[in-house]
Structure 1
């Protein structure tokens, strides 16, 4: 049996939060006691345990007044595996956001909903209403498995998508905390949804392969101390990277046979983006391929990975506590070996996979069974009514009239599905009447692929603005692209108000990470399909210097890109040294020295491949090589 304490930290003092978890009576205290107190806030110890119940205590910094108590309020986050929101739950969340919240809801980048602005006195009523409407907030935050992600596309004629939904939901159930604290505190002990648990999931949770389970413990998988830090899982299908699979602690990829029958799962592990400025020991990391597991062993495999992190993750230094650091310290081979010990058998060889592509599933689509789905782009995930844009009203009216289920997307958009074709016109009219666009071609291309975290005024970790700043920043970038002759160019832009990476900026082609008030660390070089980490280029860019900073980089990109090359791929290919060299020697373009529009020609694929190889070998650009060849062939005098 594998030992359950890492020898390297066994004699070191665990972090303060480890003690808070140990003394919480399995997530009950001091939340249960302090909830009854006539105050507008919880203590620091209670705040840490409250996270496990799906809530963060925040204060609205816009309302801070010196000498007065802070404007304390609470954010609630739903546990919604695969982004599934049944219609009755949506209507409840919509009502709660108006009755107790700030009149908005926010789609998260992990496919849940967040409610903001809830007061302590209304917290119990809010959570109770969510649970009674087939929802939950249990485990949406805290040191345990977070919301399990899956591609949101409801393709009924592609079985792998249905498998991804099924297993995302089952794994979420497998790893749900078993303590009765949640229902005791928020529903006075009543478990509102009494559906029988899948016997296979129950058996898998109780099955003790090789030390993965604590017997005679209310938490058979987590134990008294739960996980060292948060743990993130997704299930996806080959080729579909709508879930940002490389950023997860554990990713499972559905593998089917020629008959579309599920056979097993490829395994990735060790991704994670949270880091701390000026702490080089913290870093973003992309997940590694680990192996393959047959479908009958997948739940034991999940337990084995969780147990490895549970027992060997760092419980002393929380900045070093994520699975990515354990794998980085151990190496993939040692990690794989430990997982195999917990699993009780070796992993199989990783199965070949196609190239990953990012997909957002916007617009009207057929779902494969005669019905339709429609993806709606939501700026930064904020569902609200503002001026002529009445998104919140539109979504509510559609759910009320057509009783449609919803899938939230990892890019914080929303999908209605199971739509009868005869209802398409009526739904489109509701959207149009409320100023909501369903045509992805009419969505600004920079906005379409951008994400930002909430940041100020409510996030306690925010260093600077994000959600409130990104609209104007995207407009400035678009204006600059037009100025330098890159009209309609688009790439993945992501912004966060701090380095924790909630909007996944470290996978972006252009990432903004808050580093000081009105200043950002700039990351460049991620890929359009989110398969490559970006790298930090500048540590602190005052946002008022945005145009002068980006203009030379965009001009260099315009002048030296390869055919159809994206901005992120260009930055990764040429490297930061060359970008800096060009920027240092750059003279802003004027009407006198502005580069004339380039003329594009097309060559056959096989010629393009040869050109690229020769250009690379000679250290020339493909444009220069083609010009030299044409001049020589036509004997042109230039």
Structure 2
């Protein structure tokens, strides 16, 4: 088969193999069920692993013991990662307790908060996979479309200072999530023992039979906080609230973090602002953006299949025109807005309804009991008494939300008892750090990330303390590969894995998520990383201006070249 989409790069080339798999899958069924019932192996077939992603799960193996198992002539230690679809990262106490039970009964290494405001469970073996999926369903949640070539988890700002506005935005997060859930009955048939309705034709009204060319991500930010990194999304929406009323959203398209080492045709990109929509227009515009990508995205070369490449190949003006043609109305210019940070706030804050919200730091998002740290147990005990809800953040942290004044003391005691109050004494760089999972489970990882982060942070804190800037807020992100799950290209300091113990050092993004960083040192080991940062931290301590952030300092002083993409992401009028 050849690519029928004449407008896209890759037109006329053979479709990627995954397109054939999707087309033959019978709306994501494949032979997943047969593979689950095969007792000979802990794996499923390679083609079915591609389809399994649409159901919210990845097959992985423990790379720490891969070589040893090979020497013993054993198959890899296969297990599955499962990711929930939890729009906006909101979880009730009852759901939390159910998810905690799942982690203890079926998974390993506790609960992990991802950079998309949801949970991942790691280490679920094949014989327990179906029972785990059913337990998630029984907790009134799902995993469908948490992965795969579809619109995935919709994320949004967690801002307890603007509770009514956050509530309005979250309603649109939920509506967007529901609107783009696949309609296939395969999920219910395979995981929930649903009845097969073979006589009734099945239709995916938005996605079609082969779904999207690649994954698609949507996020809503509420100024002045850009904690969801709205310009990293395929479709980024900036809530415009005027006089206490949600007037609508600025629309940014084409953001994306993934790249490939050594391939200059792949790159990170900030979303481009193309206009403003009212709330009533939002679903129509979002669907037009998604279906334009469906019809014109590159289905021949998956490394060029994200929306950012579709836009860059066909032109931003063309893309906006196509969206307007599909919606039947023109998009007016974006409205003014301002971001002041993209990190999380910690400690107690009171919302306008009088309820309280407690922001907690969770290192690399990992909540588990290890040694003296009993983080998983601590949050479980809080969930038993909480009358509000939990909100996970895109920075892998946790908010205990909607707490009455009279209940704060009980929660404070549990937070202190189980060591969840570490944010009170942590450095600025630790509070603003993110690390992806990487080794030993991620098959794409080239270097350590989550397991390396505590060690690296300790060494960086020693250097920062020596220069008297330990409390300076600095965005640090570590990624085990260039695919960008930790959004490293938007960090003031980023380490991107090249090989075991070696990283690209990138510097110079800004503190609001509106500027990409640049390569500073390529393929270097820890000694050179620490030496380079020691020198730069020293200069920053001596020469920074009042309230100047580290990334801005590096550009102002000429350490890094001026950015090729402006602080304000590309607006259509500047490139038309």
1:388 to 365, 372, 376: 372
Stretches of structure 2 that go unaligned for 5 or more consecutive residues are 563-576
| In 2: Cα distance, 1:231 partner to 1:408 partner | 20
Equivalent residue, structure 2, for 1:558: 541
340-349 vs 281-290, which moves further: 340-349
Spell out the pairing of 1:142-541 with structure 2 (5 A cutoff): 142-154=148-160, 158-189=163-194, 218-258=203-243, 260-437=244-421, 440-541=423-524
Equivalent residue, structure 2, for 1:602: none
Contact in 1 for aligned 2:220/2:238 (Cα 8 Å): yes
| In 2: Cα distance, 1:553 partner to 1:443 partner | 21
- Displacement after TM superposition at 1:359 (Å): 4.2
- Displacement after TM superposition at 1:318 (Å): 0.5
Contact in 2 for aligned 1:217/1:223 (Cα 8 Å): no
Contact in 1 for aligned 2:505/2:529 (Cα 8 Å): no
Contact in 2 for aligned 1:525/1:534 (Cα 8 Å): yes
Call closer, same or farther: CA 1:127–1:461 in 2, change over 3 Å: same
Contact in 1 for aligned 2:255/2:272 (Cα 8 Å): yes
- Displacement after TM superposition at 1:372 (Å): 1.4
1:41 to 27, 43, 58: 43
Task: Give the TM-score taking structure 1 as reference length.
Answer: 0.83
In the alignment, does 2:53 pair up with 1:51?
Answer: yes
- Displacement after TM superposition at 1:190 (Å): 7.0
Call closer, same or farther: CA 1:5–1:426 in 2, change over 3 Å: same
Residue 108 of structure 2 aligns to a residue whose secondary structure is: coil
| In 2: Cα distance, 1:392 partner to 1:482 partner | 31
Residue 64 of structure 2 aligns to a residue whose secondary structure is: helix
| In 2: Cα distance, 1:166 partner to 1:306 partner | 20
Contact in 2 for aligned 1:232/1:249 (Cα 8 Å): yes
* Structure with bigger RCO (C-alpha 8 Å, 6+ apart): 2
Call closer, same or farther: CA 1:571–1:309 in 2, change over 3 Å: same
Contact in 1 for aligned 2:22/2:28 (Cα 8 Å): yes
| In 2: Cα distance, 1:7 partner to 1:578 partner | 35
- Displacement after TM superposition at 1:486 (Å): 3.5
Equivalent residue, structure 1, for 2:527: 544
| In 1: Cα distance, 2:380 partner to 2:312 partner | 46
Aligned-residue CA RMSD in angstroms?
Answer: 2.0
1:87 to 65, 85, 93: 93
Equivalent residue, structure 2, for 1:136: 142
- Displacement after TM superposition at 1:23 (Å): 0.6
Spell out the pairing of 1:60-71 with structure 2 (5 A cutoff): 60-64=62-66, 65=68, 66=71, 67-71=73-77
| In 2: Cα distance, 1:373 partner to 1:563 partner | 30
| In 1: Cα distance, 2:561 partner to 2:236 partner | 35
- Displacement after TM superposition at 1:460 (Å): 0.3
| In 2: Cα distance, 1:363 partner to 1:484 partner | 27
Contact in 2 for aligned 1:498/1:513 (Cα 8 Å): yes
Task: Give the TM-score taking structure 2 as reference length.
Answer: 0.92
Contact in 1 for aligned 2:154/2:218 (Cα 8 Å): yes
Contact in 2 for aligned 1:398/1:404 (Cα 8 Å): no
Call closer, same or farther: CA 1:490–1:296 in 2, change over 3 Å: closer
Residue 385 of structure 2 aligns to a residue whose secondary structure is: helix
Stretches of structure 1 that go unaligned for 5 or more consecutive residues are 192-215, 580-638
179-188 vs 217-226, which moves further: 217-226
- Displacement after TM superposition at 1:368 (Å): 2.1
Equivalent residue, structure 1, for 2:17: 16
| In 1: Cα distance, 2:405 partner to 2:5 partner | 57
Call closer, same or farther: CA 1:430–1:484 in 2, change over 3 Å: closer
- Displacement after TM superposition at 1:252 (Å): 1.5
- Displacement after TM superposition at 1:35 (Å): 1.5
